Homo-oligomer: A and B are copies of this chain.
């Protein structure tokens, strides 16, 4: 006959598929000789057959349960239904993957009007016994019998009124006895049957309830969303109850094998004598530190430490365990992998390698790359008590506090005086840069993850919360209102750009901290990873920071950010508004040395490493004041009858803004389209790059500039720009008489470019997937518009599993990355291919990039360590799969 029930000593840790996660864990602890309250597991196969056969159990199951129950009575030396020494058990579900919506736990099963006497006797605590009984009835009534929880609560509340007490704990033993009787009546009324007194009947009903909970609507929905097969089934675990509240020789506690905050190897945990598990966390009595157990009369400390050390070695990771001491005897109730801070994760991983417990590959897999963010930015002190007043988009990580100011000028003024300020605006424009520079952080009520504020703040490494639509900013009155709360100018607020949260007042923040373990682990990662990790950097400072954090090149320098700086913007605006080619040329001539200066700094900082510089990308109107504001100004001037030069000037400006205005600027006149329409702009940029490179080469500095053309959809767009670029560059290099190599390549950020990559690779020497724009066009979603309006809802409602602007959409966008890479390399086998969208610093996306054979990922400087770690993990994970 098929084996449907496993006693804990018959199973093993690797039998998860039939014993479920919990059952396999209990079996494993039993197998390695740990003291675990004994019991047995009914396999997942029973569940599968139950549903196959119209809810009939397989033949022989009943007998096997009976046998195992007998064995349990024998091992525990207790008996089901015994009035002296009753066996009580817990019944728990346990699928392969833990799943909300299923029946969780029934404790104290086996209690009835007879066995309660045995418990009273053994615990010497009548009140505890009856409290356990009424809790058992409540739990059983609700989860097994399906009676609404509220109906039990109603009786409980009524009783408290009668007894004139407020808390459950204030009900005395007599009260609880009355409650038990009332519960019995309730159950009779609701089910038409008496509360089952027979422990075996209780057990059978509880097992039925677990199996039936497999197909509740909530569980089915959860499985559908999480793509878990309906055919897995759940197991049922029946385990002897043990009690830590049987007197001063009993107790209960929790612990970690290492300190989960720091990673130090030390006793870490708490315990209470004569208590049950929930008392430790309830906070009524103050638990003692675990180290105290040493001095205790119980003499279990040594055993406990021996056991959990064994456990850690066995599971080869930090364990978070629960234990109970029943009358001097130690039991392990649970062990699981311990959660830890980033700092601890690093230390533990590195220490365990040094202790010979795990190898370097395993150590690398042990740290969640996303956690590293904690270590790289100033953050809210986890010990601080905080109250969130609003939440926006986490636009640029880091935490900062400062006085509220509403204009860039105020921010600059106060900032220069050394005061900390947060610049609060509905949205920022290039005119606000000087204020952003001096502010600790930026908070906006409009705009998304790619809004001006967000992009500029990320570039500056400054905290930013964007699109916080709950804020009602009234600049004139100098106040922000959030629901009923009013924040005045000069009051302090705190923002957390990593979570998007906004707080009142000064919330303490803590410094980023990079430990020696951080360096060690990342040095191991570097040896394993195959992907290059580049950084996106627009300034020499960013480039230096990126190099410090391990960047192996610059994957994206956005030249337009250089245009946006306050001293340059007027020249740029002049260039855009030029009536003639001549006046445009004049403006460009002024920009040339400025751009060259930028490139000198970046190329020098990245000596010996490639620097990919993208020519101007955004539509020109982004450099001009916005249409609405200008329209209001002109209307106002007109109505005031001020027919002055001022009006004429503003009208001219308005006309130009209107002529450049676009319905869908994202899909408009930008990127290479600008380069084809105004070749003189790209010419100037190419000159500046090559001039800078030549100057450095002459000084003996090895530079590797790569020029990147944005927004190409057709090889015929790329070809003429590439040709013109090479002509300018080659002539300059020749006349300078230096040896300087450079490349010309393109962004692949439009579906058409990916689909025709074989043609584009005929000319382009490298590809860089711009997955931000590629996601926008592949999905047909404007990120700026969507994130506030429907995209977050999409993620909440699981229409999309992830925000595709955060985690690369493998199915759609990823398919284009694959197609583009394959076609590109068909034409040019050694084509250098990378990505420079924000996905380049997101671990799942990095793994994808590795899996499709890209050469590098490029991300913001502070995400370089994350990408390095994720790249190494990708190698290791995929080796595992092989």
A residues contacting B by CB (< 8 A) are 627-628, 631-632, 635-636, 639-640, 662-669, 673, 676-677, 711, 713-714, 716-717, 720, 749-752, 755-756, 759, 773, 776-782, 784-786, 789-790, 793-794, 798-800, 809, 811-813, 815-816
Given the complex of chains A and B, what is the CA–CA distance between A512 and B752 in angstroms? 40
Report yes or no: A812 in contact with B778, Cβ–Cβ below 8 A: no
When chains A and B are docked, how far (Å) is the Cα of A200 from the Cα of B597? 67
Name the distance in Å between A713's Cβ and chain B's nearest Cβ: 5
Question: A751: which B residues are within 8 A, CB to CB?
Answer: 751, 777-778, 780, 812, 816
Distance A169 CA – B54 CA, assembled complex (angstroms) = 107
Which residues of chain B are within 8 angstroms of A816 by Cβ–Cβ distance? 751, 755
Take A636-B635, A669-B789, A778-B751 as given contacts and tell me if A784 and B663 are in contact as well, using a CB distance cutoff of 8 Å: yes
Establish whether residues A667 and B669, one from each chain, have CB atoms under 8 Å apart when the complex forms.
Answer: no
Q: List 11 A-B contacts (CB under 8 A).
A: A667-B667, A669-B789, A677-B790, A716-B800, A751-B778, A752-B779, A752-B809, A755-B815, A756-B811, A773-B780, A777-B777
Chain B: CB-nearest residue to A797: B676
Bound together, the chains give a CA A809 to CA B815 distance in angstroms of 20
Closest 6 CB pairs of A and B: A667-B782, A752-B812, A664-B782, A750-B780, A751-B751, A668-B785
User: Cβ of A716 and Cβ of B799 under 8 Å apart?
Assistant: yes
Alpha-carbon distance between A750 and B813 when the two chains are bound, in angstroms: 12
- Separation of A695 and B635 alpha carbons in the complex (Å): 54
Given known A-B contacts A750-B778, A780-B777, A755 and B665 have beta carbons under 8 A apart: no
Count copies of this chain in the complex.
Answer: 2
Q: Are A799 and B717 in contact, CB atoms less than 8 angstroms apart?
A: yes
Whether B780 pairs with A713 at a CB distance below 8 angstroms is yes
Which residues of the partner chain B approach A627 to less than 8 Å between Cβ atoms? 628
CB <8 Å contact, A667 and B664: yes
How far, in angstroms, from A813 to B668 measured CA to CA in the complex? Answer: 18
Contact, CB under 8 Å: B663 / A665:
yes
| Residue contact B778 to A714, C-beta cutoff 8 Å | no
> A343 → chain B, closest Cβ, in Å?
38
Which residue on B lies nearest to A713, using beta carbons?
Answer: B779
Closest to A448 in B: B663
How far, in angstroms, from A816 to B666 measured CA to CA in the complex? 21
Known: A636-B639, A666-B663, A790-B676. A752 touches B778 (CB 8 A): yes
**What residues on B are CB-neighbors of A673 within 8 Å?**
790
User: A669 to nearest B CB, angstroms?
Assistant: 5
Q: A668-B782, A668-B789, A669-B789 are in contact. List 5 more A-B contacts (CB 8 A).
A: A665-B785, A667-B780, A676-B799, A714-B779, A773-B780
Contacts of A717 in B (CB 8 A): 799
User: What is the CB-to-nearest-CB distance from A852 to chain B, in angstroms, rounded to a whole number?
Assistant: 15
A628 nearest in chain B by CB position: B631
Residues of B within 8 A of A794 (CB): 676
- Name the CB-closest residue of B to A809: B752
Are A677 and B755 in contact, with the CB atoms below 8 A? Answer: no
A624: min CB distance to chain B, Å:
15
Taking a contact as CB atoms under 8 Å apart, the answer to whether A663 and B785 are in contact is yes
> In the complex, which residues of chain B have a beta carbon less than 8 angstroms from the beta carbon of A790?
669, 673, 676-677
Residues on the B chain within 8 Å of A756, using CB: 811-812, 815
Residues of B within 8 A of A784 (CB): 663-664
- Provided the pairs A785-B669, A812-B756 are in contact, do residues A750 and B779 lie with their beta carbons within 8 angstroms? yes
CB distance from A463 to the nearest CB of B (A): 24
Min distance, Cβ A245 to any Cβ of chain B, angstroms: 49
- Chain B residue nearest in CB terms to A752: B812
- Contact assessment for B632 and A811 in the assembled complex, using a CB-CB cutoff below 8 Å: no
Q: In the complex, A315 Cα to B168 Cα: how many Å? A: 105
In the complex, are the beta carbons of B632 and A677 less than 8 A apart? no
A784 to B669, CA, bound (A): 11
Residues of B within 8 A of A789 (CB): 668-669, 677
- Residue pair B812, A677 in contact (C-beta under 8 Å): no
Say yes or no: A780 contacts B799, CB within 8 Å.
Answer: no
**Across-interface contacts of A800 in B (CB, < 8 A):** 714, 716
Task: Collect the chain B residues with CB atoms within 8 Å of residue A812's CB.
Answer: 713-714, 751-752, 755-756
CA distance A125 to B63 in the complex (A): 129
**A713 CB contacts on chain B under 8 angstroms:** 778-781, 812
Query: Which residue on chain B has the smallest CB distance to residue A451?
Result: B663
Chain B residues within an 8 Å CB radius of A785: 662-665, 667-669
- The residues of B that contact A813 with a CB separation of less than 8 Å are 752
A226, chain B: closest CB distance, angstroms: 13
Chain B residue nearest to A658 (CB atoms) is B628
Residues of B within 8 A of A666 (CB): 663-664, 667, 780, 782
**For A714, what are the chain B residues with a Cβ–Cβ distance below 8 Å?**
779, 799-800, 812
A759–chain B nearest beta-carbon distance, Å: 8
B755 near A662 with CB under 8 A, answer no
Docked CA distance A417–B716 (Å) = 54
Q: Bound complex: CA of A790 vs CA of B674, how far in Å?
A: 9
A731 to B669, CA, bound (A): 50
Q: List B contacts of A759 (CB < 8 A).
A: 811
Q: Closest CB of chain B to A424's CB: distance in Å?
A: 19
Name A750's closest neighbour in chain B (CB-CB): B780
Min CB–CB distance A620 → chain B (angstroms): 11
Taking the nearest CB of chain B, how far is it from the CB of A621, in angstroms?
11
Q: Is the CB of A776 within 8 A of B677?
A: no
A786 touches B668 (CB 8 A): yes
B residues near A664, Cβ cutoff 8 Å: 663-667, 782, 784-785
A676 CA / B666 CA spacing, docked (Å)? 24
CA distance A750 to B750 in the complex (A): 12
CA of A639 to CA of B632 in the docked complex: distance in angstroms? 11
Q: How far, in angstroms, from A779 to B716 measured CA to CA in the complex? A: 13
Contacts of A662 in B (CB 8 A): 782, 785
Shortest A230–chain B CB gap in Å is: 17
Asked if A811 and B755 sit within 8 Å, CB to CB, the answer is yes
A663-B789 Cα distance, complex, nearest whole Å: 12
Of A664, A665, A755, A811, most buried by chain B (CB within 10 Å of CB) is: A664
CA distance A812 to B693 in the complex (A): 37
| Nearest neighbor of A669 in chain B, beta-carbon distance | B789
Would you call B778 and A755 a contact (CB within 8 A)?
A: yes
* Residues in B neighbouring A793, C-beta threshold 8 A: 676-677
Q: How far is the CB of A105 from chain B (nearest CB, A)?
A: 33
A756 CA to B668 CA in the complex, in Å?
27
Cross-chain contact A780 with B798 (CB below 8 angstroms): no
Which residue of chain B has the shortest Cβ distance to A225 in the bound complex? B716
Chain B minimum-CB-distance residue to A660: B789
- Chain B CB count within 10 A is highest, among A635, A663, A720, A782, for A663
Q: Which residue of B lies closest to A629 (CB)?
A: B631
> By the criterion CB–CB under 8 Å, are A778 and B780 in contact?
no
Closest-CB distance, A658 to chain B (whole angstroms): 9
Q: Nearest B residue to A720 by beta-carbon distance? A: B799
CB distance from A769 to the nearest CB of B (A): 14
Tell me the bound Cα distance from A776 to B664 in angstroms: 11
Q: A635 — which chain B residues lie within 8 A by C-beta?
A: 631-632, 635-636, 639
CB distance from A746 to the nearest CB of B (A): 13
Considering the chains assembled together, what is the distance between the CA atoms of A669 and B636 in angstroms?
A: 33
B798 touches A716 (CB 8 A): yes
Q: What is the minimal beta-carbon distance from A236 to any residue of chain B, in angstroms?
A: 33
CB-based nearest B residue for A776 = B667
Chain B: minimal CB distance from A473 (Å): 14
Q: How far is the CA of A640 from the CA of B640 in the complex (A)?
A: 10
Q: Which residues of B contact A640 (CB under 8 A)?
A: 639
Residue from B711, B777, B780 within 8 A of A749 (CB atoms):
B780
Chain B residues with Cβ below 8 Å from A632 are 631, 635
CA distance A789 to B668 in the complex (A): 9
Question: Contacts of A798 on B, CB cut-off 8 Å?
Answer: 716
Question: What is the distance, in angstroms, from A481's C-beta to the closest C-beta of chain B?
Answer: 16
